[in-house]
Amino acid sequence: MAKVKCAIIGSGNIGTDLMIKIMRTAKNLEMAAMVGIDPQSDGLARAARLGIPTTHDGVEGLKSMPGYGDIGIVFDATSARAHVANDAALRGDGKKIIDMTPAAIGPFNVPVVNLDDNIDAPNVNMVTCGGQATIPIVHAIKQASGRVIYGEIVASIASKSAGPGTRANIDEFTETTSKGIETVGGAEKGKAIIVLNPAEPPLMMRNTVFTLSQGGNREAIEKSIEEMAARVKSYVPGYRLKQKVQFESIGDNAPVNIPGIGPCSGLKTTVFIEVEGAAHYLPAYAGNLDIMTSAALATADLWAEKVQARELV
């Protein structure tokens, strides 16, 4: 069965790591183009050495490449601002666009939560690295409890793994992740915080999830979290729970005030997650970048599989 050809816009760390993942591990994808704007970038140089067609003229350069018409999927690993222009340029050409920026033009997509709902969307957004790591956990708690009043996540990443794109999109990170906690995770109120940790040697990506829920019980919630972590690990091998899930009862006699909702009681759940990168291109501590490329690859691979199945019918 022929593989679906794909292109990557953005020849930085994320784009280059994704390119190597596609070449090494993709089941249904084939690299057809690597696109950048810096002719001296390492990503373009590596792609050229691997025999992949390249252009440093951005999305317009991609559209003028001889094989553009055969490309079915375009990954955008640039920035939120650049994606708006890239989406406008590609929208009418029938490409499946996988947005790895916080632009969020298309619906939020977290493979283990709502990929099936978004399978026919022309543009899907991969939320953020913190969102990919934590939204599945919020969703798991919602499944086991029935109501998640509040979800807060703190994503701590090594400063060295935060490139220019990440640093330029800090505001978008917090806004996009907060919305994803609500719309995909199922929390009524979401909040996201990102910490760039300058420690040496660099630390692995760590994520802390706090929720306040009602309904369910501790055993069911813990089981749901563990099962969800195993599902994420199926496409992000370095994803793991760092320690046992922690619980604390918040009684009616000492409720917490949730902005926009008011005083609430319930069960506070705290989950600690670590993400180790696969070190395909980036160092192992850059789990924040690895989980984005892994989630995007999982999304595209399944989409390509479904497209091929439809063509056989």
CATH number of the domain where residue 180 is located: 3.30.360.10
pLDDT at 309: 77
Let me know whether 31 and 105 are in one domain: yes
Residue of 129, 144, 192, 221 marked catalytic: 129
H helix and E strand count, the chain: 10, 14
State the CB neighbour count (10 A cutoff) for residue 40.
8
Q: Can you read off the two tokens belonging to residue 112?
A: 């283990």
- Main-chain dihedrals φ then ψ at residue 304, nearest 5 degrees: -65, -40
In this model, does residue 252 exceed pLDDT 60? Answer: yes
My answer on whether 112 and 150 are in the same domain is no
238 and 299 belong to one structural domain: no
Q: What is the mean pLDDT of the chain?
A: 95
Cα 127 from Cα 141, distance rounded (Å): 19
Q: What is the mean pLDDT of residues 279-304?
A: 96
User: Per residue in 139-157, pLDDT tens?
Assistant: 999 999 999 999 999 999 9
The pTM is what?
A: 0.95
C-alpha distances out from residue 293 to 11, 192, 213, Å: 13, 21, 31
Instruction: Spell out where 29-70 has E strands.
Output: 29-35, 54-55
Report the pLDDT value the prediction gives residue 306, as an integer from 0 to 100: 86
CATH of the domain at 121: 3.40.50.720
Rounded to a whole number of angstroms, the distance between the first and last alpha carbons of the chain is 13
Same domain, 77 and 39: yes
- Do residues 144 and 274 both lie within one domain? yes
Q: Per the structure, how many domains does the chain have?
A: 2
Across 253-266, average pLDDT: 95
How many CA atoms are closer than 13 Å to the CA of 85, on its beta-carbon side? Answer: 8
264 part of the active site: no
The pLDDT tens digits for 43-78 are 999 999 999 999 999 999 999 999 999 999 999 999
What does the pLDDT look like over 80-97, one tens digit per residue? 889 999 999 998 999 999
Do 119 and 149 fall into the same domain? Answer: no
């917490």: which residue's tokens?
Answer: 256
Regarding whether 82 and 151 lie in a shared domain, the answer is no
Do both 121 and 175 map to the same domain?
no
Residues 66 and 140 in one domain: no
Q: Domain span at residue 205?
A: 129-283
Determine the pLDDT at residue 236.
98
- The answer, yes or no, to whether residue 313 has pLDDT greater than 60, is no
What b-and-e string marks burial along 123-156, b requiring 16 or more CB atoms within 10 Å of the CB?
A: bbbbbbbbbbbbbbbbbbbbbbbeebbbbbbbbb
pLDDT tens profile 105-122: 999 999 999 999 999 999
Find the farthest-apart pair of alpha carbons in the chain and give their distance in angstroms, rounded. 69
Q: Residue 171: its pLDDT value, please?
A: 87
pLDDT beyond 80 at 25? yes
Is there a single domain that holds both residue 122 and residue 133?
no
Please tell me whether residues 73 and 150 are part of one structural domain: no
* Same structural domain, 120 and 177: no
